[in-house]
């Protein structure tokens, strides 16, 4: 039982905390209950009080009237007359008993109806005055003068009055009041309920609408026609929903525009890429055909130069023969440049056939062929064993020829050249290097290294077409690798390059 | 002195001169017919007929109208490699061109400018054949 009560009160508390409607309803109900209780109490108290006063009056009056009526009879000692008077008084139904006493307080007459225990009785006494003056007559109904001089009394009367009628009246009144209060309460509670519901409903609607809005329904509207604060709140909510919808539309439009622009941009990028690719291809084929076209006149030049040498060399002096030599050398140089241009084209166009390569062995072979063609040089070469890479054999070979060839060439001024090939791990990437103690170069010009035909040294000092590193860079780029050089002038150069490590694991 | 008949097809006068000069250095009696383009070459071959074909045709690749490879194709339509050996002269050694020529059937692919030793080497098998 206590448990149930506890549960109920807990639920009520929960309900009061969570529901505005319940709180409002409970509040109004409590106020109505309190007000009606107070009013009913006041009413009943007033009624009871006035009833009591009027009953007292009535009793007093009866007592006084009897005292006046029996005065002469008491004075005369006429018992019969007293009885008659008492009989007369008995005609009042509420009178229960009448007693008349003489001056000494002896009971002279007693008239009584049978007593009912359940009924409440009131007793009223009045003295029987010896003299009744004018003033006393006047105060018979109202006033205190009647009892003002008890010494002058010749006896006393006592009347017992049945209060049950008055009590019944009072009970009826109380019941009526309670009924009225109950009715008032019922109506009040109903009104409070309706009021609470009326006030809570728009709030509930707002709450539901807010949930719907949160759920993505931006066409939701709250229908509240009242112009009060809740109505204003609903209007504000509706305009907020409108604003949100507008924002959403704007956002969507902006997004669509962005998407369109992206698509346009991508289209443009594709277009440009295609243009660039086609321009690149044109350039490549121009390079190719130019190289071929240049070869024909060059071959004629060399041909005539040879003819001149063979047929007229004996008719030229030393100076003339030297010029002829030089023309031949220049022709050779030009031939090499044209070959390099063709090599670049072939590097770009070659279909790659990648596999795992032993770089150490390639470097070894390149060094061996350099030693063969340049026997006079003393070069210390150290090659780390078993350095592996993944790539196209022909292109990697070509790259190594160029890189090692450079090291070989630029160490030519050293009494003992030194070339080192190896690899090192840096930030998880395998970096290959070729280090030499050659002439080196000023790092200021490092950006010129990979441009075709850019030379950092005199041709006489270190001959070459100036295209070797351009070729190597293209080869590395085609493999997805990088190449860079570090150098100190007069100390040496290190050429670093990478080939994608991931491809090595592709085996 | 042995004699040999050669048809030289080249559009460039300098090239013709230089080739003729090397041919002149051969210790052979060389008879050279000269065609300046593919049409002339085909006309000469038609005029001489199957019975009187030259020992070899030496042709340049880069020629206007009918290029060297196209001309070689026409020639091979008429005569086999045994009937009429071909020697290509070119200043550039484009792998694609070399492959196309070998496909059609040639005896040698010689670089310009021509030098005597290379020419001798190329002609040697033609001279020993009956």
pLDDT digits (tens, 9 = 90+) for A169-206: 888 888 888 888 888 888 888 888 888 777 777 778 88
Nearest CA in chain A to B91: A296
Q: What is the mean pLDDT of residues A211-237?
A: 81
What average pLDDT score do residues A121-131 get? 81
- Rounded average pLDDT over A447-460: 78
Percentage of chain A modeled with pLDDT above 70: 94
Token pair 């290294």 in the structure block, residue: A449
Q: Residue A300 — very low, low, confident or very high, per pLDDT cuts 50/70/90? A: very high
The residues pairing with B56 across neighbouring beta strands, listed in sequence order, are B6
pLDDT of residue A91: 82
Res A301: pLDDT: 92
* Domain residue ranges of chain A, discontinuous segments joined by +: 15-169, 353-504
To test the contact with chain A by mutation, choose from B17, B91, B112, B116 the residue with the greatest count of A C-beta atoms within 10 A, namely B91
- Boundaries of domain holding B78: 3-128
Interface check A96 vs B, CB under 8 A: no
A292 vs chain B: nearest CA distance in angstroms? 6
Q: pLDDT grade, residue A63 (50/70/90)? A: confident
- DSSP codes of every residue in B13-80: HHHHHHHHHHHHHSSSEEEEEEESSHHHHHHHHHHHTGGG--SEEEEES--SSS-HHHHHHHHHHHS-
Beta bridge partners of A107: A101
Mean pLDDT within A46-55? 84
How much is the average pLDDT of A274-279?
Answer: 90
Q: Is A304 on the interface with B (CB under 8 A)?
A: yes
Predicted pLDDT of residue B128: 65
From the list B21, B94, B113, the residue facing A299 with the nearest CB is: B113
Name the 3-class secondary structure at A429.
strand
Preferred mutation among B19, B92, B95, B112 to probe A, highest tally of A CBs within 10 A: B92
Q: How far is A277 from chain B (nearest CA, A)?
A: 23
| pLDDT confidence of residue B18 | 94
pLDDT at residue B130 is higher than 50: no
Q: How far away is chain B from the Cα of A398, in angstroms, using its nearest Cα?
A: 17
Closest CA to A452 of A298, A350, A288, A341: A341
Best to test chain B binding among A287, A288, A296 (most B CBs inside 10 Å): A296
Decide: residue A365, CB within 10 A, 0-12 exposed, 13-18 middle, 19+ buried: middle
Kindly list the residues from chain B whose CB atom is less than 8 angstroms away from the CB atom of residue A342. Answer: 92
The rounded distance, in Å, linking the Cα atoms of A51 and A64 is 20
Mean predicted confidence (pLDDT) in A115-144: 74
| Mean pLDDT of all residues in A250-275 | 94
Q: Is the predicted pLDDT of residue A506 greater than 50, yes or no?
A: no
Q: In this model, does residue A222 exceed pLDDT 50?
A: yes
pLDDT, position A494: 93
Strand order in the sheet with A492-497: A379-383, A417-426, A429-436, A492-497, A483-488
pLDDT of A18 higher than 70: yes
Structural domains counted in chain B: 1
Per CB-CB distance under 8 Å, the chain A contacts of B97 are none
Decide: B61 and B88 in contact? Cβ < 8 Å.
yes
Q: Is A333 helix (H, G, I), strand (E, B) or coil?
A: helix
Average pLDDT over residues B66-91: 92
Architecture of domain A353-504: 2-Layer Sandwich (3.30)
Q: Give the model's pLDDT for residue A507.
A: 37
Q: Is the pLDDT of residue A504 over 80?
A: no
The pLDDT of residue A505:
43
Asked whether residue A226 carries a pLDDT value surpassing 70, the answer given is: yes
Cα Rg, chain B, nearest whole Å: 13
Of the candidates B63, B64, B66, B61, the residue with the CA atom closest to the CA atom of residue B102: B61
Give me the percent of chain B exceeding a pLDDT of 70.
Answer: 96
Mean pLDDT of chain A: 84
A55/A49 Cα distance (integer angstroms): 10
Q: What is the mean pLDDT of residues A92-102?
A: 84
Q: Which of B25, B128, B110, B22 is nearest to B68 (CA)?
A: B110
Mean pLDDT score, B68-95: 90
Which residues from chain A sit within 8 angstroms of residue B89, using beta carbons? Answer: none
What is the C-alpha to C-alpha distance for residues A205 and A195, in angstroms, rounded to an integer? 16
Q: How many CB pairs under 8 A join A and B?
A: 39
pLDDT of residue A436: 92
In this predicted model, what pLDDT tens digit does every residue of A230-254 receive, in sequence order? 788 888 888 888 898 899 999 999 9
More confident residue, A7 or B77: B77
Low-confidence winner among A1-10, A228-237, A407-416, B51-60 (lowest mean pLDDT): A1-10
Least confident among A217-231, A377-391, A399-413, B15-29: A217-231
Residues of B in contact with A304 (CB under 8 A): 14, 18
Conformation bin of residue A77: beta by default, left when phi > 0, alpha when psi is -120 to 50:
left
Q: What is the pTM of this model?
A: 0.54
> How near does any CA of chain A get to the CA of B49, in Å?
32
Instruction: Give kind and range of the element (H or E) at residue A107.
Output: strand A107-112
At residue B61, what are phi and psi to the nearest 5 degrees? -90, -40
Give residue A501's pLDDT.
62
SS3 state at A78 = coil
| Residue with the larger pLDDT of the pair A501 and A470 | A470
């Amino acid at each position: 039982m206590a448990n149930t009560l506890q549960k109920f009160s807990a639920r009520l508390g929960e309900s009061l905390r969570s529901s505005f409607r319940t709180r409002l309803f409970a509040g109004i109900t409590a106020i109505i209950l309190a007000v009606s209780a107070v009013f009913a109490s006041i009413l009943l108290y007033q009624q009871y009080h006035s009833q009591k006063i009027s009953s007292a009056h009535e009793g007093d009056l009866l007592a006084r009237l009897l005292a006046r009526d029996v005065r002469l009879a008491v004075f005369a000692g006429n018992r019969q007359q007293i009885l008659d008077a008492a009989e007369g008084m008995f005609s009042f139904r509420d009178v229960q008993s009448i007693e008349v006493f003489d001056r000494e307080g002896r009971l002279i007459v007693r008239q009584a109806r049978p007593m009912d225990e359940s009924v409440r009785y009131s007793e009223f006494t009045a003295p029987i005055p010896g003299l009744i003056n004018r003033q006393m007559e006047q105060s018979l109904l109202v006033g205190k003068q009647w009892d003002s001089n008890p010494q002058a009394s010749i006896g006393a009367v006592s009347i017992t009055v049945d209060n049950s009628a008055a009590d019944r009246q009072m009970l009826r009144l109380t019941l009526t009041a309670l009924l009225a209060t109950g009715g008032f309460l019922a109506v009040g509670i109903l009104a409070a309920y309706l009021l609470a519901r009326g006030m809570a409903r728009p709030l509930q609607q707002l709450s539901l609408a807010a949930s719907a809005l949160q759920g993505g329904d931006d066409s939701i509207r709250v229908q509240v026609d009242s112009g009060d604060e809740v109505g204003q709140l609903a209007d504000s909510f509706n305009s907020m929903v409108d604003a949100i919808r507008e924002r959403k539309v704007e956002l969507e439009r902006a997004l669509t525009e962005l998407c369109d622009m992206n698509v346009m941009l991508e289209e443009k990028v594709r277009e440009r890429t295609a243009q660039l690719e086609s321009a690149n291809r044109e350039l490549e084929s121009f390079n190719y055909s130019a190289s071929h076209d240049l070869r024909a006149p060059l071959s004629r030049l060399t041909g005539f130069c040879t003819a001149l040498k063979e047929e007229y060399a004996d008719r030229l002096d030393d100076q003339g023969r030297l010029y002829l030599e030089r023309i031949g050398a220049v022709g050779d140089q030009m031939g090499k440049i044209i070959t390099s241009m063709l090599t670049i084209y072939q590097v770009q166009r070659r279909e790659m056939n990648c596999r795992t390569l032993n770089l150490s062995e390639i470097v070894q072979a390149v060094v061996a062929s350099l030693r063969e063609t340049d026997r006079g040089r003393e070069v210390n070469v150290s090659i780390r064993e078993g350095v592996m890479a993944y790539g196209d054999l022909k292109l990697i070979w070509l790259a190594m020829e160029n890189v090692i060839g450079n090291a070989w060439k630029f160490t030519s001024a050293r009494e003992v050249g030194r070339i080192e090939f190896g690899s090192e791990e840096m930030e998880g990437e395998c970096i290959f290097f070729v280090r030499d103690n050659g002439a080196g170069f000023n790092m200021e010009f490092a950006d010129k290294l990979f441009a075709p035909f850019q030379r950092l040294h005199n041709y006489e000092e270190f001959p070459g077409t100036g295209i070797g590193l351009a070729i190597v860079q293209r080869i590395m780029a085609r493999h997805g690798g990088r190449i860079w050089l570090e150098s100190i002038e007069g100390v040496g150069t290190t050429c670093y390059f990478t080939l994608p490590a991931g491809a090595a694991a592709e085996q | 002195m042995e004699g040999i008949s050669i048809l030289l097809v080249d559009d460039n006068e300098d090239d013709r001169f230089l080739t003729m000069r090397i041919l002149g250095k051969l210790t052979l009696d060389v008879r050279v017919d000269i065609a300046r383009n593919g049409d002339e070459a085909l006309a000469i071959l038609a005029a001489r007929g199957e019975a009187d074909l030259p020992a070899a045709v030496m042709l340049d690749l880069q020629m206007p109208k009918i290029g060297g490879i196209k001309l070689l194709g026409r020639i091979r339509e008429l005569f086999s490699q045994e009937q009429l050996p071909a020697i290509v002269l070119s200043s550039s050694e484009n792998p694609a061109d070399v492959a196309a020529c070998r496909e059609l059937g040639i005896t040698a692919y010689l670089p310009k400018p021509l030098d005597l030793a290379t020419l001798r080497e190329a002609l040697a098998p033609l001279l020993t054949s009956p």
